[in-house]
A and B are shown apart, each in its own frame.
Chain A
């Protein structure tokens, strides 16, 4: 089999006001025809910059040296005029964020035809027909209508399909996919990855797939290139990389991705655990903007008739994809969102019928840690001011000395020291900010802690630390936790029971082990199956099953 791409000693560096930063350092690799190569690494590893340099899409302060031979032609450093004959034509690229990668001011058809006008001799009608054909090949419903529509009328998954269709119009030899599914829900991700494999077979393309998710690599790639800080760590076929990794960094990455495989000892509840919170028939509807003054107002049913209990001392997981309503649920329980119907009772009291004084007492007992560590801290306040605020609120009579003691104590609890008191959030890392957020939540000595995607925005390595911290604190402070996440692995590891939500409806609930091993509902089954695991053989099995299910 011949080599379609050969990269030799690639160096990519950026000149920021005099300082030179090397993003890719002396990288060499090759790509065969019809091969899927995965380039994997953490953020900052240089994986995107590698392919961007090949495509001539580096920022203006970037420079690439070395060699990249594509189909026996040197393409690195080629002037735009020459490069334009190749990109979009023989090499196609799709990007991470389908939301912003399509022009919302131009119809889908115009964008797609634009590619054909550039690279082929089709006339208007021929081009349009080809585009419709391609849209249905990637399974976009009603392609002849969608083609005259705009990108904002489509969901994320659909937009990515459109991008793939556009890429395929010129039957490229190489498809570069830069984190194509990172921004998508897990069930949608599965379909898009399958689609990529399908078109790869059909069009006999080579694919370079860039990702940080080892499960995705295990599912789709033939060979793997592991990068760290722009330097090649290891290269090999998928089986070898996953089952006998040689490089230390590869082993590290594999370890981190499998860390969450072993579930914790789940706390066995007391014979009759108290109910910390009871949610009955909760509904939260949002009115949608009306088309004109006279039409009826439609509603978005974010939470629809939900009922469940939270038992004292447990960690209750709430999982679901985007739009499932889990965050709305959290906000309702925290009394940040007024429900449209139903009741919420926390520690025996109906929170929807509280006056201000009662509300304050309620808030003392229930606290929250949010998803984005940086926007959950006021950038203009120091750490000590941030922590002092709830203290002032709930324990107004605290003396200054006691206050400092309490605050420092909480900082110690989360693994930060008194040295952090005077710092501002932008001086801290993501993990540190999240620790401060946790410390803030603990100041009031709450009994119930809501974690709304508290670890989702953190790097993989930090994630494990924070999870460990949360578990330790739960133990010490005897907390009950509601843990909201879309990452099933984390939920599997730490939650005693789990709620599965889809589009505002409670699909399933039960003990974690039960739900994960024997899901009762088809959606749960799909959800669990679609999570890619870093085990190539397992993934191939699942793939075969999916294919046979389809036929």
Chain B
């Protein structure tokens, strides 16, 4: 029963955050100077009255808030201002699958390659391999992905003509390679650095010395004693990594012309489509809160210190 209690309490902890996010979004709309209804062109009176009724703007504030929360929880983000024929929910649903493919691939790539590279570097500390990895790591975090992306296009699409320069095309993997690379690159670098540092620290700990004194060969020591504690910080980092990838997707989708959520977001921002922008932020926010919850729970199952307190 300890396990379920643990999950339950963690879930309980996430709910206030969720509510805080939604309330924040709501009040932002209310507080914005000029509000969603003060647009460049003035509306005919009846249209405005209709909109007012539709948005319950005449109701008291708390009632509006509850309706807003209720709507969101049912997945209704309201109509888009920019694309008159669509509501925000439809736009999100059309853009999200693309971003999901991109982002998930990027996270998995970042985790896999980052952890691998970092481990290799740590096990070969202060050798040429290590310096190479460290240099790569430094590059990865110093070259922004909106610089990397065009460079990749320049190299692979224009000069080498190996990969398409953008668009979804027929949905094949070829179209995903460059965008995923551009998106994942800084995270691969960061995770590699993180892994390396963490592994080096664990490799220097006293219990590794004990294992050596017990005659256990290095490869077993790494697998049985080092990997778990060394990878814990990476598990913790998954949350922020996802946030970074979501942020990066905005730019990558733009450059590669992928019709994902990030691109809608940018268009919305440039065109002052309040509801769309808000909807995307709330949507992604909820996603991240949920994801962090999963990571938190996962961590609790891996780290024995937390496990035994359950």
A interface residues, Cβ below 8 angstroms from B? 55-57, 80-81, 83-89, 92-93, 95, 97, 100-107, 110, 114-115, 118-119, 149-150, 152-153, 163, 166, 291-293
Q: Are B308 and A57 in contact (CB under 8 A)?
A: no
Residues of B close to A106: CB separation below 8 A: 224-225, 228
Q: Are A101 and B216 in contact (CB under 8 A)?
A: no
| 26 pairs, CB–CB < 8 Å, chain A vs chain B | A55-B213, A56-B212, A57-B212, A80-B217, A80-B218, A87-B213, A88-B213, A88-B215, A88-B216, A89-B215, A95-B210, A100-B206, A101-B206, A104-B305, A105-B225, A105-B229, A106-B224, A107-B304, A110-B224, A114-B214, A114-B224, A118-B217, A119-B215, A150-B304, A152-B305, A293-B9
**Nearest-Cβ distance from residue B305 to partner chain A, whole angstroms:** 6
- Determine the distance from Cα of A147 to Cα of B172 in the docked complex, in whole angstroms: 52
In the complex, per-residue mask of B195-223: 1 if CB is within 8 Å of any chain A CB, else 0: 00000000001110111111111101000
Residues of A close to B220: CB separation below 8 A: 114, 118
Q: How large is the interface on B (under 10, 10 to 19, 20 to 34, 35 or more residues)?
A: 20 to 34
- Determine the distance from Cα of A550 to Cα of B215 in the docked complex, in whole angstroms: 36
**Nearest-Cβ distance from residue B309 to partner chain A, whole angstroms:** 6
- Determine the distance from Cα of A97 to Cα of B205 in the docked complex, in whole angstroms: 12
Q: Which of A81, A95, A115, A150 meets B216, CB within 8 Å?
A: A115
**Nearest-Cβ distance from residue B82 to partner chain A, whole angstroms:** 46
Name the residue on B nearest A89 (C-beta). B215
Q: Are A87 and B225 in contact (CB under 8 A)?
A: no
Q: Are A114 and B216 in contact (CB under 8 A)?
A: yes
Kindly list the 5 A-B residue pairs having the minimum CB-CB distance in the complex, ordered from nearest.
Answer: A88-B215, A88-B214, A100-B206, A103-B207, A84-B215
Q: Are B213 and A93 in contact (CB under 8 A)?
A: yes
Q: Is B71 an interface residue (CB 8 A)?
A: no
Known: A80-B218, A104-B305. A57 touches B213 (CB 8 A): yes
Q: Are B215 and A95 in contact (CB under 8 A)?
A: no
Residues of A close to B59: CB separation below 8 A: none
Q: Are A150 and B9 in contact (CB under 8 A)?
A: no
Known: A105-B229, A114-B224. A84 touches B213 (CB 8 A): no
Residues of B close to A97: CB separation below 8 A: 206
**Nearest-Cβ distance from residue A344 to partner chain B, whole angstroms:** 35
Q: Are A84 and B216 in contact (CB under 8 A)?
A: yes
Residues of A close to B48: CB separation below 8 A: none
Residues of B close to A115: CB separation below 8 A: 214-216
Q: Are B215 and A87 in contact (CB under 8 A)?
A: yes
- Determine the distance from Cα of A13 to Cα of B308 in the docked complex, in whole angstroms: 44
Name the residue on B nearest A176 (C-beta). B213
Residues of B close to A80: CB separation below 8 A: 217-218
**Nearest-Cβ distance from residue A223 to partner chain B, whole angstroms:** 23
Residues of A close to B309: CB separation below 8 A: 291
Chain B's interface: helix, strand, loop or mixed, by majority?
helix
- Determine the distance from Cα of A84 to Cα of B207 in the docked complex, in whole angstroms: 16
Name the residue on B nearest A102 (C-beta). B207
Name the residue on A nearest B206 (C-beta). A100
- Determine the distance from Cα of A149 to Cα of B205 in the docked complex, in whole angstroms: 20
Known: A152-B305, A153-B308, A292-B5. A102 touches B210 (CB 8 A): yes
**Nearest-Cβ distance from residue B4 to partner chain A, whole angstroms:** 12
Q: Are A101 and B218 in contact (CB under 8 A)?
A: no
The residue among B205, B214, B224 with the most chain A CB atoms within 10 A of its own CB is B214
Report B42-71 residues with CB < 8 Å from chain A CB: none
Residues of B close to A118: CB separation below 8 A: 214-217, 220
**Nearest-Cβ distance from residue B122 to partner chain A, whole angstroms:** 14
Report B120-144 residues with CB < 8 Å from chain A CB: none
Name the residue on A nearest B230 (C-beta). A105
Q: Are A150 and B215 in contact (CB under 8 A)?
A: no
Residues of A close to B224: CB separation below 8 A: 106, 110, 114
**Nearest-Cβ distance from residue A152 to partner chain B, whole angstroms:** 6
Q: Are A95 and B209 in contact (CB under 8 A)?
A: yes
Residues of B close to A102: CB separation below 8 A: 207, 210
- Determine the distance from Cα of A95 to Cα of B214 in the docked complex, in whole angstroms: 12
- Determine the distance from Cα of A398 to Cα of B214 in the docked complex, in whole angstroms: 64
- Determine the distance from Cα of A106 to Cα of B227 in the docked complex, in whole angstroms: 11
Residues of A close to B304: CB separation below 8 A: 104-105, 107, 150, 152
Residues of B close to A166: CB separation below 8 A: 214
Q: Are A100 and B217 in contact (CB under 8 A)?
A: no
Residues of B close to A81: CB separation below 8 A: 217
**Nearest-Cβ distance from residue B18 to partner chain A, whole angstroms:** 19
Residues of A close to B213: CB separation below 8 A: 55, 57, 87-88, 92-93, 95
Q: Are B303 and A105 in contact (CB under 8 A)?
A: yes
Q: Are B225 and A57 in contact (CB under 8 A)?
A: no
**Nearest-Cβ distance from residue B278 to partner chain A, whole angstroms:** 34
Residues of A close to B206: CB separation below 8 A: 95, 97, 100-101
The residue among B207, B209, B213, B309 with the most chain A CB atoms within 10 A of its own CB is B213
**Nearest-Cβ distance from residue B135 to partner chain A, whole angstroms:** 22
Name the residue on B nearest A289 (C-beta). B309
Residues of B close to A57: CB separation below 8 A: 209, 212-213
- Determine the distance from Cα of A106 to Cα of B304 in the docked complex, in whole angstroms: 8
Name the residue on A nearest B302 (C-beta). A105
- Determine the distance from Cα of A56 to Cα of B228 in the docked complex, in whole angstroms: 25
**Nearest-Cβ distance from residue A440 to partner chain B, whole angstroms:** 35
Residues of A close to B216: CB separation below 8 A: 84, 88, 114-115, 118
- Determine the distance from Cα of A64 to Cα of B217 in the docked complex, in whole angstroms: 21
Residues of B close to A163: CB separation below 8 A: 210
- Determine the distance from Cα of A220 to Cα of B299 in the docked complex, in whole angstroms: 46
- Determine the distance from Cα of A84 to Cα of B211 in the docked complex, in whole angstroms: 10
- Determine the distance from Cα of A274 to Cα of B26 in the docked complex, in whole angstroms: 71
The residue among B206, B210, B220 with the most chain A CB atoms within 10 A of its own CB is B210
**Nearest-Cβ distance from residue A219 to partner chain B, whole angstroms:** 25
The residue among A80, A103, A292, A293 with the most chain B CB atoms within 10 A of its own CB is A103
In the complex, per-residue mask of B274-310: 1 if CB is within 8 Å of any chain A CB, else 0: 0000000000000000000000000000011100110
- Determine the distance from Cα of A92 to Cα of B206 in the docked complex, in whole angstroms: 16
19 extra A-B contacts, CB within 8 A, seeds A105-B228, A293-B9: A56-B212, A57-B209, A80-B217, A81-B217, A88-B214, A88-B215, A89-B215, A95-B209, A100-B206, A102-B207, A103-B210, A103-B225, A104-B207, A104-B304, A105-B225, A110-B224, A114-B224, A119-B215, A292-B9
Residues of B close to A55: CB separation below 8 A: 213
Residues of A close to B228: CB separation below 8 A: 105-106
Residues of A close to B209: CB separation below 8 A: 57, 95, 101
